[in-house]
Amino acid sequence: MTELGRVHVDERWDGAGGPRVRSLETGRENPDRRTVVIVPGLGALGYLFDTLAGCGPWARSFLLDVPGFGRRPPWSCPPELPAVTELVTRWLETVPAGPVVLAGHSTGAQVALRVAAERPDLVRALVLLGPTFPPNLRTGPGLLLPYVRTTGHEPAGLLKATMPYYRRAGLKALARFVRTAQEDEPEKLVPAVACPMVVARGVHDAFSPQPWADRLAAAAADGRSVTVPGAHAFPYQHGGLTAALISGAAKQAGVLSASRP
């Protein structure tokens, strides 16, 4: 057990029809059958700790260590978007007691979207935080300018929160992860999402530009687009706000009472 501020967090390992999956859990004592599951971007958990802590007071909440960069190899699955999607799906079939509020950031948003589109029975509400990649960013050279535009607006402590995970992963695995994410076509999956969906992006996020977020939200049966302060990694600097976005999606889906703060 560890603490995020004053919030108790348990480390757990669960079988998911294969290698065990590590996750961080809080809000376990919550008596209601509400569950939040958060999928990180590029396998880095550290910048999402505050978001996890913010969800704990109203739901049993998990931050998944997928593909497993929180520990040294062997990882729970290959660092590829389809493999991570399959692993998260198996975990959702095994661990929570019923459908969840599913949130993902960056490449984790792509994973969350794929799960919600392919297995609507597992997801009550969907939150896409800084979803990547719009069509014009699906090549290596296309990422350079958005990188320059975005990184200047990221908070100074972000590298400290993410670098341990990237170091354990190594450049080869990270490049493999990004490449498979660039091959994804999220816009083709959104129409299959049956639950309420929120798409949120930072105002300075060139990896997830406003027209892209609006396009995804508009293609959903019950979607809305929100712009918040910050850049691509806005959950790191605004964990409370990010948790509020997730609770808002839960209220939209009827999972959480609309009167709850």
- Give the residue among 233, 246, 202, 228 at the shortest CA–CA distance from 56: 246
Per-residue confidence (pLDDT) for residue 194, from 0 to 100: 95
Per-residue CA distances from 229 to 35, 130, 207 (Å): 26, 12, 15
Q: Is the pLDDT at 254 greater than 60, yes or no? A: yes
Residue % of the chain over a pLDDT of 90: 87
pLDDT band at 1 (very low <50, low <70, confident <90, very high): very low
Residue with the larger pLDDT of the pair 39 and 29:
39
Q: Which of 24-38, 214-228, 241-255 shows the lowest mean pLDDT across its residues? A: 24-38
Mean pLDDT over residues 15-20, rounded? 85
Mean pLDDT over residues 238-256, rounded? 95
Neighbours of 116 (CB within 10 A): 26
CA distance 225 to 249: 11
Report yes or no: 113 and 190 within 8 Å, Cβ to Cβ: yes
* Rounded to 5°, angle at Cα 213 from 211 and 215: 65
The CATH homologous superfamily to which domain 2-252 belongs is Alpha/Beta hydrolase fold, catalytic domain (3.40.50.1820)
Q: Is the pLDDT at 203 greater than 70, yes or no? A: yes
pLDDT tens string 84-109: 999 999 999 999 988 999 999 999 99
Which residues are 38's β-sheet partners? 63, 103
pLDDT tens string 115-161: 999 999 999 999 999 999 999 999 988 899 999 999 999 998 999 99
Please report, for the chain, the start and end positions of each structural domain, with discontinuous segments joined by +.
2-252
pTM of the complete model: 0.95
